[in-house]
Structure 1
């Protein structure tokens, strides 16, 4: 289950209803998929063949299509990141730049853990959303954020896009962000 850490106070928010209420207040979509649906042979497997990625998409087809219909997503895929991913350090450097997109950035976590760092309202400032299997999050368009891996450095996620070319990151400098 997702957990939130507000960076400027170090306050932690846990529990599905508390997390959902906080994220709703920040205009960030949060939902939950049934993580146990993932076939057992894909649990904790972070190097995937195209066939295994298709199995994941098939497993969550109903959830993906329902979300896509509600929010206008047109295409989706699976991303898998771990220390076995070629050029993982370069990818993480790219991901760890504060940026915005002209469409939502959405992830359905099916295995592993990851973290979105999102700029909240003026009072809240930046907050971390620590995600695990079953958590689904959508960062609104034009909202400053970035994504990175947790200490385990392993994640598999379904990504959904409105534009057929996917979203393009526009890096920004934000002097209010501190690591």
Structure 2
């Protein structure tokens, strides 16, 4: 189930608000320019479907979204289980960073947490199957797919080079770390 937990950035243990209502999640996130919505697709590809099948199933949505955002490419990221590379990749995602373009994700299966840091607050958004989130360029955030990731997501890019992060060097992600993570462990 999708959820939002909102905190002051100096009080990780005291949520200001918690909600599982998608309309409320979208309303709160709009205050910092983040787009959140639910997509209802008549077809949901299998969890292990080839990337081309996943892209084809969501093509009408992608065409509209890419037209709205000026995005140039889309791909599929599919992670099931903590392979050898996952701990290092997870630590990279767990460091607060920004992008020069919007970070757009649609969750086909599974879940992951986008944690946004803006206006003195931290917005922990649990995205689940059917959720679209678009984090505007320049909004500090991090992502946690969990110690054992299990998700399939569409990624939409304007820059054809794909995911390029600029790390902020702020240790806030460590203060808001999940109990099972090792935190941000890359040189920024």
Please show how residues 81-120 of structure 1 align to structure 2 within 5 Å.
Answer: 81-83=79-81, 85-120=83-118
Residue matched to 2:40: 34
Q: Which runs of 5+ in 1 are unaligned?
A: none
Report the Cα offset of residue 67 of structure 1: 0.4
TM-score by length of 2: 0.83
Q: Secondary structure at the match of 1:7?
A: strand
Aligned to 1:163: 159
Conserved 8 A contact 1:108-1:134 = yes
- How far apart, in 1, do the equivalents of 2:163 and 2:148 lie? 26
2:169 aligned to which of 151, 170, 173? 173
TM-score (norm 1): 0.87
Instruction: Work out the CA distance in 2 between the residues paired with 1:31 and 1:126.
Output: 19
Q: How many residues align?
A: 169
| 1:14 to partner: Cα distance | 2.1
Cα distance in 2 for residues equivalent to 1:114 and 1:27: 20
Q: What does 1:1-179 correspond to in 2, within 5 Å?
A: 1-8=1-8, 9-10=14-15, 11-34=17-40, 37-39=43-45, 42-43=46-47, 45=48, 52-83=50-81, 85-122=83-120, 125-150=121-146, 153-177=149-173, 178-179=175-176
Change (3 A) 1:152 1:131: farther
**RMSD over aligned Cα, in angstroms?**
1.8
1:100-154 per-residue CA deviation (whole Å, 9 max, x = no partner) reads 11001110000001000101223xx111000100000011101110111146621
The aligned counterpart of 2:183 is none
Report if aligned partners of 1:103, 1:167 keep a CA contact under 8 Å in 2.
no
- Report the Cα offset of residue 59 of structure 1: 0.1
Shift of 1:173: 1.8
Look up the SS of the partner of 2:68 in the other structure.
helix
SS in structure 2 of the partner of residue 37 of structure 1: coil
Gaps of 5+ in 2: 9-13, 177-188
Q: Between Structure 1 and Structure 2, which shows a larger proportion of helix residues?
A: 1
Q: Secondary structure at the match of 1:20?
A: helix
Task: Tell me, in whole angstroms, the C-alpha distance in 1 between the residues paired with 2:42 and 2:29.
Answer: 24
